Structure 1
């Protein structure tokens, strides 16, 4: 059974075989559920706490 992974930006679960995997120069692996999350995090440097469509974690 594949391990459940979550989007680094919006924290939604990613099904096996879907989404984007981004490897930074230092070797850290980041997974994103869609190009929307990827562009928001990597290209636009948005803060996920300030976007309305991101799942807010209960603290």
Structure 2
């Protein structure tokens, strides 16, 4: 397989591309697959349960912020 072929996987937390052979795969009980590019993304997603829209270093960041429903 050529190394020039782009990966179709994106990090579930930050949205960056995950190269083939890299990253961490999490398979949930319902069969969905979540790829993370690094342990930083994995910790923020699973252990700390953070929202990626609140962090500037993610591609999913929203500049004006998000409105939380009460």
TM-score > 0.5, shorter chain as reference = yes
Query: Bigger radius of gyration, 1 or 2?
Result: 2
The Cα offsets for residues 15-56 of structure 1, whole Å up to 9 and x where unpaired, read as 100000001122111000001101101111100000121114
Higher RCO structure (Cα 8 Å, ≥6 apart): 1
Task: Compute the TM-score of the two structures, normalised by the length of structure 1.
Answer: 0.84
Task: Compute the TM-score of the two structures, normalised by the length of structure 2.
Answer: 0.72
Q: Runs of 5+ in structure 2 lacking a partner?
A: 62-70
Name the Cα RMSD after superposition. Answer: 1.7
Runs of at least 4 residues off by over 4 Å: none
Q: Runs of 5+ in structure 1 lacking a partner?
A: none
